[in-house]
Amino acid sequence: MAVIKSKNPSNLGQIDINSFEPRDLAKYFNNLYEVPIEVSSNIDSAIIAYFENITDNKESARALASAVIYTSIKQGISPMSTLAEFQKLPPGELSAYTALFLNFERVGTSYLGLTNSPKINKYIQRAILP
């Protein structure tokens, strides 16, 4: 049995490459062949305008708006109700809430805005000088 081990600590476990199936890729590329989501231009413009006001950048506002619209629709939530919830937040909490909201549609190994500190083995820990 061939097992790939990472030299760097990470949040990924060992992978048995003999048991890997090509259909397992579907969980990572599940959005590749989906029909694009369409919303009215009014909804799109409202969400873009909101993020443009926050970021002062048209390109980043478009990227954020499309991600929020996509995630809202995939979660079965109206994009306008998502926008209303965003507008209720104080500006300092918007980044964390947006990252949390966008993580609903992401695979666990690609979460936004999270830092993963791997657990250090206690025997290695005691050998490291303070």
Q: Could you write out the DSSP letters of every residue in 15-50?
A: EETTS--GGGGGGTSTTTTSPPP---HHHHHHHHHH
Query: What does the mean pLDDT of the chain come to?
Result: 77
pLDDT level of residue 13 (50, 70, 90 thresholds): low
pLDDT at 2: 46
Section 118-129 average pLDDT: 77
Residue with the two structure tokens 């507008």: 87
pLDDT level of residue 64 (50, 70, 90 thresholds): very high
Section 24-43 average pLDDT: 70
Q: Please state the domain extents for the chain.
A: 41-108
How far apart (Å, rounded) are the C-alpha atoms in residues 74 and 86? 18
